[in-house]
Amino acid sequence: MLKGKIAMVTGAGRGIGKAIALKLADLGASIALNYRTHNEDIDKLAKEIEDKNVKVLLVQGDVSDFNQCSDMIKKVNNELGRIDILVNNAGITKDGLLMRMKEEDFDKVIDINLKGTFNCIKHVTPIMMKQREGRIINLSSVIGLVGNAGQANYAASKAGIIGLTKSVAKEIGSRGVTVNAIAPGFIKTDMTEVLSDKVKASIQDNIPLRRLGEAEDVAELVAFLSSDKAGYITGQVINVDGGMVM
């Protein structure tokens, strides 16, 4: 389905980003893996992807840094020849009630989640517009749609991603580039591992499908949105949440 395509996934070292990278590689895409912190897991992932007979490129960098994003995207384009798919997945949480939230915790979450998404979009769009083809997929969250006590910074960043997605979709649709957002619910990764069993159980009770999501549930939608089959879908926010928000 994606044979010969070149995809870049940010924050690909673990969790949802890793599942996305593996899924796109399974479908035949070569993968640029962005990671921030180097550890042996990223080398293992690169090897696993290489074994699927596609190319893999490691690009280290912090997505919140505008110039590092420029360098990373130049490197991917130079070494892999083009960029067909950009998945803006890198993200963090720094939770706390507004009354106690420090300014730096608000700024950090906005810088990585929202500005990081802008940075990568900004540098990849000239390439995709020249190709007259491209897919940009941004990881938002259901929290960006409905808010959450203790996550004002995160909710603002994820709601911002939705506005960014729709605006850029309107700007570059005529050049053959689609821009969509995915809003996952609660997915089992390091990000949600910090929640107590009691909290997880109460979340699960409020999910119609009665389970937390797997990273692979999100990766399946990324694969579809990356494919030719999704060529007439742009500017959309699609939930992968077991029916939690409807």
Assess contact for 161 and 140: CB atoms under 8 A: yes
Residue type, 160: G
Those residues with Cβ within 8 angstroms of residue 71's Cβ, 6 or more apart along the chain or in another chain:
61
Helix H or strand E encompassing 177? strand 177-184
Applying CB under 6 A, among 5, 76, 91, 153 the residue interacting with ligand NAP is 91
Instruction: For the CB of residue 14, give the shortest distance to ligand NAP in the complex, in Å.
Output: 5
- Per CB under 6 A, does 119 bind ligand NAP? no
Q: What is the C-alpha separation between 170 and 178, in angstroms, rounded? A: 9
Assess contact for 120 and 70: CB atoms under 8 A: no
- Per CB under 6 A, does 64 bind ligand NAP? yes
Q: What is the C-alpha separation between 56 and 63, in angstroms, rounded? A: 19
Size, binding site for ligand NAP by CB under 6 A: 29
Assess contact for 18 and 46: CB atoms under 8 A: no
- Per CB under 6 A, does 14 bind ligand NAP? yes
Binding span for ligand NAP by CB under 6 A among 24-32, 51-59, 179-187, 221-229: 179-187
- Per CB under 6 A, does 141 bind ligand NAP? yes
Applying CB under 6 A, among 5, 6, 7, 11 the residue interacting with ligand NAP is 11
Applying CB under 6 A, among 153, 186, 217, 223 the residue interacting with ligand NAP is 186
Active site residue 154: yes
Residue with tokens 């700024």: 107
Assess contact for 32 and 73: CB atoms under 8 A: no
Applying CB under 6 A, among 4, 37, 79, 97 the residue interacting with ligand NAP is 37
Which stretches of the chain bind ligand NAP, using CB under 6 A?
A: 10-11, 13-17, 34-37, 62-64, 89-92, 112, 116, 139, 141, 184, 186-187, 189-192
The residues annotated with a catalytic role in the active site are: 154
